[in-house]
Amino acid sequence: MCGVIGYVGAGATPSFFLNALRRLEYRGYDSAGIAMLTQDGVVIQRAEGKLSQLERKLDKLPATAKVGIGHTRWATHGKPTENNAHPHRSGPIVLLHNGIIENYRQLKEMLVVKGYEFLSETDTEVAAHLLHHEYKNLTSGTPEQRMREALRVVVRQLKGAFAFGIICLETPEVLYSAKLGSPLVIGQADGESFLASGITALVEHTRQFLVVEDGEIVVLKAGQIEIESFDGKPVVRPFSRVEWSVAMMEKGGYRHFMLKEIHEHPLAIAQTLSGRVQRDSGSINLADLGVGSLPLKTLKRVQIVACGTSFYAASLSKYFIESVARIPVEVDLASEYRYRASTVDENTLVVAVSQSGETADTLQAIKSARAAGAQTLAVVNVPGSTIAHACHAESLTKAGPEIGVASTKAFAAQLTALYLVGLALAQERETLNQAELRFYVDEFVKIPSLVEKCLGLSESIERLANRYHQLSSLLFIGRGPQWPVALEGSLKLKELSYIHAEAYAAGELKHGPIALIDENMSVVCLAPRDAYYEKTLSNIEEIKARGGRILAVGQENDAQLQELADDFIGIPECSEAILPFITTVPLHLFAYWIAVRKGTDVDQPRNLAKSVTVE
Ligand code: AGP
């Protein structure tokens, strides 16, 4: 998704904008641009491709400017060319945008009739000309007052999603923005104000942030911000301090962010557990987990909505939550859930799981659930995210900033938070006694060190990758909770190495997919010693009988499985309850090393964005 950055203050250099845009690269992009406003006018530089292309033009920008905006574009309307890169200009207006203006065609036709000349294929340029048109139409008031009124008129005409960065040559020390549907945060430091698509862009300049809500216009000046609703009512919202550091966003000596973040699985789990479980009593701290305000005792059912990897974490948690809290749990793809007839009521808890907290499908799904009367909980990794603001309650996964587009440590943190929600339900509904609660808490506390042990498999899995990276297709199978683990493993392989991979519930093989098995097909089989072990072994036999190759993931001392498999990844012994945390790690490493071997862009795979804020 596009990245937006803006600055107003004593002075920012071209490098400030470029570095801030670099912190947003993980959002995915294909072109970029910067505009800087000085008393001599505005200078705009844009470039197709990676930021390194834009960097070559920095010397054409002013040495410093009091106001400026920057953008990384993930093309929606119009090819990724310099001409379509943001920002776009119309008279005194220079504007950039993250989102999609769905009614841009009608607006464009109206503006062409009024004589506006379009130089790009983008919907964004429509907004620039429209704002220019409305600004020109206003004859009374100061330029700033006319800009504010023109913005109010424009946002009421737009349909779709937008987060703007806007400068006007006639108000040389003011930055404007408006937000609907796309993420936008404001930062503030002494005598400086910032806007950005995400806090990672600004953490080296300030820790003071506030989230702009849908339907708000922001006017930023040096060290001063004003927020108003689209209909002009003032909005007052406090800044909050975010404890993310620059170091947390660097690679820390790892070759890729993704490898660093796989190695941060243990920390992400430990941080998400911290403060939320009392080991001696086995009790769950509801307030710290963020669920204290929810009617956990009287709920009749739970629905979980998510996308991608978050959906697999949710699917995994279903098994655990149903088993400990004895409450029905339905898990739905958010993109499907939001269009289906709702069956929720005040006794339904709908949980939105999202690393970014900005995924459009998940946001719309949880909004529809809340509108239908459900209790809502956000399990998110970014503090103050849009999805969190849309819910009654927020349970933060404490994985820290996840930069790699492929989600890894956030998955582990999501699983941790969701399992804790399961224990919180069990505690409040008394479906587990204190000894049982204590057992699970003791098992959860063991996970970080067990995952740490799994990370020691990295070198052996790197060697395995040399035998699998040239495959054109791969199957993943698992039973019970290992089925969503298989789904997650196949997604990681697909999105990182571009190898086709599919995952099946192992019991489904005989109902069709086994037709795919021959000597050219390899199958990753998740076969830990769980309740499904014997049946999974039978599946492995069926595959081998048809010439398929087996890469088995199972307990390190399982000689029988090692004998049966062509390749084997041994995980440490652990209780069945926490197996999914353990079996996921080898699959993340497997996908990573195959991608490295194939030379794909591990941290920013083609066509993907870290946060899909469009539908
Ligand atoms: C996961 O590796 C992918 N990047 C993608 O499936 C992601 O999980 C999905 O887009 C949901 O994102 P979210 O967790 O930020 O909502």
CA separation (Å) from 327 to 297, 301, 318, 319, 447?
Answer: 11, 6, 10, 11, 25
User: Is it the case that residue 364 has pLDDT exceeding 90?
Assistant: yes
The pLDDT assigned to 447 comes to: 95
Give 1's pLDDT tier (boundaries 50, 70, 90).
Answer: low
CA dist., res. 501 & res. 406, Å (int) = 15
List the residue whose alpha carbon is closest to atom 2 of ligand 1. Answer: 406
What is the CA(445)–ligand 1 centre distance, in A? 26
Identical fold at 259-454 and 458-598? yes
Instruction: Give the mean pLDDT of the chain.
Output: 94
Q: Which of 77-81, 283-287, 361-365 has the lowest mean pLDDT?
A: 77-81
Locate 355 and state its tokens. 């690393």
Give the DSSP H/E element, type plus range, for residue 126. helix 124-137
Helix axes 458-468, 579-598, angle to 10 degrees: 50
Does the pLDDT at position 28 exceed 70?
no
Interval between CA 427 and ligand 1 midpoint (Å): 30
pLDDT confidence tier of residue 368, bands split at 50, 70 and 90: very high
Q: Distance from the CA of 406 to the center of ligand 1, in angstroms?
A: 7
Token pair for 148? 């504010």
- Higher pLDDT among residues 292 and 27, named by residue: 292
pLDDT at position 293 = 96
Atom of ligand 1 nearest to the CA of 410: 14
pLDDT digits (tens, 9 = 90+) for 482-492: 999 999 999 99
Average pLDDT over residues 66-89: 87
Query: Which CATH number is correct for 3-249, 3.40.980.10, 3.60.15.10, 3.60.20.10, 3.90.380.10?
Result: 3.60.20.10
Write down the pLDDT at residue 200. Answer: 84
| Active site (catalytic) residues | 2, 610
**pLDDT score for 32:** 95
pLDDT at 579: 98
b/e per residue 118-130 (b: at least 16 CB within 10 A) = eebebbbbbbbbb
E strand intervals along 506-608: 522-526, 549-555, 567-571
Write the pLDDT tens digit of every residue in 602-615.
Answer: 998 988 888 887 77
Give the number of the atom of ligand 1 that is nearest the alpha carbon of residue 495. 2
Nearest CA to ligand 1 atom 9: 308
Distance in angstroms (rounded) separating the CA atoms of residues 5 and 24 = 9
Contacts of 243 (CB under 8 A, 6+ apart): 207
pLDDT in tens, 310-340: 999 999 999 999 999 999 999 999 999 998 8
Q: Which atom of ligand 1 is nearest to the CA of 309?
A: 8
Q: Which two tokens stand for residue 116?
A: 């506006």
Whether 156 has a pLDDT exceeding 70, the answer reads: yes
Q: Whose CA is closest to atom 3 on ligand 1?
A: 406
**DSSP 3-state helix, strand, coil percentages of the chain (rounded to 5)?**
40, 25, 35
pLDDT higher than threshold 70 for residue 46:
yes
Tokens 């003071």, located at residue: 208
Q: Which two three-digit tokens encode residue 494?
A: 């697909």
> Hey, what amino acid is at 55?
E
Answer for the pair 518, 547: CB distance below 8 angstroms, yes or no: yes
Give the span between the Cα atoms of 547 and 518, in whole angstroms.
5
How many A from CA of 312 to the centre of ligand 1?
10
Q: At what angle do helices 143-155 and 124-137 cross, to 10 degrees?
A: 130
Which ligand 1 atom is at minimum distance from the Cα of 610? 4
Question: What pLDDT does residue 247 have?
Answer: 73
pLDDT at position 486, please? 98
* Pocket around ligand 1 at a 6 A CB cut-off: 307-310, 354-356, 359, 362, 405-407, 495, 611-612
Structure-token match 């071997």, residue found: 597
pLDDT of residue 598: 96
The C-alpha atoms of residue 337 and residue 377 are separated, in whole angstroms, by 16
Averaged over 302-315, what is the pLDDT?
98
Residue where the block lists tokens 């090393």? 593
CATH 3.40.50.10490 fits 458-598, yes or no: yes
More confident of the two residues 609 and 226: 226
Residue-level pLDDT at 27:
65
Per-residue pLDDT for 580 more than 70? yes
Domain at 259-454: CATH code: 3.40.50.10490
List beta partners, residue 304: 331, 351
Instruction: Provide the residue ranges of all domains of the chain, joining segments of one domain with +.
Output: 3-249, 259-454, 458-598
The beta strands (E) that lie in 479-561 are given as: 500-505, 522-526, 549-555
User: What's the farthest any 2 CA atoms get from each other in the chain?
Assistant: 84
Q: What is the mean pLDDT of residues 206-211?
A: 91
What pLDDT shows up at residue 199? 86
Asked whether residue 530 carries a pLDDT value surpassing 70, the answer given is yes
pLDDT category, 81, cuts 50, 70, 90? confident
Helix (H, G, I), strand (E, B) or coil at 47: strand
CB 84 within 8 A of CB 63: no
Q: What is the pLDDT of residues 428-462, one digit of tens each?
A: 999 999 999 999 999 999 999 999 989 999 999 99
Ligand 1, from 356, 380, 382: best to mutate by most atoms within 8 Å of Cβ?
Answer: 356
